[in-house]
Amino acid sequence: MALSKEERILEFVLKNAVRGDPDSVVDTIDRYCSSKEWAMNVGNEKGLILDKIVKETNPSVLVELGTYCGYSAVRIGRLLKPDARFFTLEVNPKFADVARQMLEFAGLKDKVQILEGATYDIIPQLKKKYEVDTLDFVFVDHWKDQYKPDTLLLENCNLLRKGSVILADNVIVPGAPDFLKYVRTCGKYDCTNYLSHLEYMNEDDALEKAVFRG
Ligand SMILES: O=C(NC/C=C/[C@H]1O[C@@H](n2ccc(=O)cc2)[C@H](O)[C@@H]1O)c1cc([N+](=O)[O-])cc(O)c1O
Ligand SMILES: [Mg+2]
């Protein structure tokens, strides 16, 4: 059976990156996806903005919606303090398997927990099953029509507290218009837009930071 694109990316990392070195894993994925095959990783330009916001937030409990190959899970995981708890949610078993190997190679296996399943099934389990109180940081990068419903679900599961940071990828391309309108007009968030470019392309894209007012 031929390898999938995600398996080709993983193979390139296993062959060309440095085991245990998250930065080399991130750089190697970016090298592959900018020169050989485009893939929907947040990429280095938006990734540097993500890094800055994670560092500023200094989170203890985090969730990522949409692991894919694990690029942003490695990016975020490499910045976390030792006792931080980071859950990344992935519904596609093949992607979860690639991400698991990617994180293990990066040396972040014990830092990042991949939870397999749909966000709407897992988010309501975070408090009881995963002993989460509230979330300090949420990176949203899954199906774009899921951004708004999952934000409402996070609110309704009482997972957000005053200052909880939601950072959403792709609010220009592919876009998440209902999410953007909601967080900017519902009165519950302080929003900031970070204009950048679509990963590995010259097209405009942006991240949106929505801080819950509590
Ligand atoms: O479509 C995009 N992302 C969708 C990501 C979806 C990921 O979220 C997972 N998931 C996990 C749990 C769920 O419940 C649902 C999905 C899916 O299994 C997939 O791994 C996208 C597209 C472009 N683009 O230029 O076209 C650029 C980007 O940066 C993007 O992020
Ligand atoms: Mg994205």
- What tens digit of pLDDT does each residue of 43-89 get? 999 999 999 999 999 999 999 999 999 999 999 999 999 999 999 99
What is the residue type of 21?
Answer: D
Pair 50, 79: CB distance under 8 Å? no
- 174/124 Cα distance (integer angstroms): 27
Q: How many CB atoms lie within 10 A of CB 34?
A: 15
Above pLDDT 90, what percent of the chain?
99
For residue 183, give every residue at least 6 positions away whose Cβ sits within 8 Å of its Cβ, in sequence order, or none: 151, 166, 189, 191, 208, 210
Enter the ipTM: 0.98
Closest ligand 1 atom to residue 42 Cα is: 29
Q: How many CA atoms lie within 13 A of 155 on its CB side?
A: 17
Any catalytic annotation for residue 209? no
- What tens digit of pLDDT does each residue of 98-145 get? 999 999 999 999 999 999 999 999 999 999 999 999 999 999 999 999
Pocket mutation for ligand 1, best pick of 38, 68, 146, 207 (most atoms within 8 Å of C-beta): 68
What is the residue type of 166?
Answer: I
Pair 214, 206: CB distance under 8 Å? no
**Ligand in nearest proximity to the CA of 70:** 1
1 has pLDDT over 90: no
Any catalytic annotation for residue 36? no
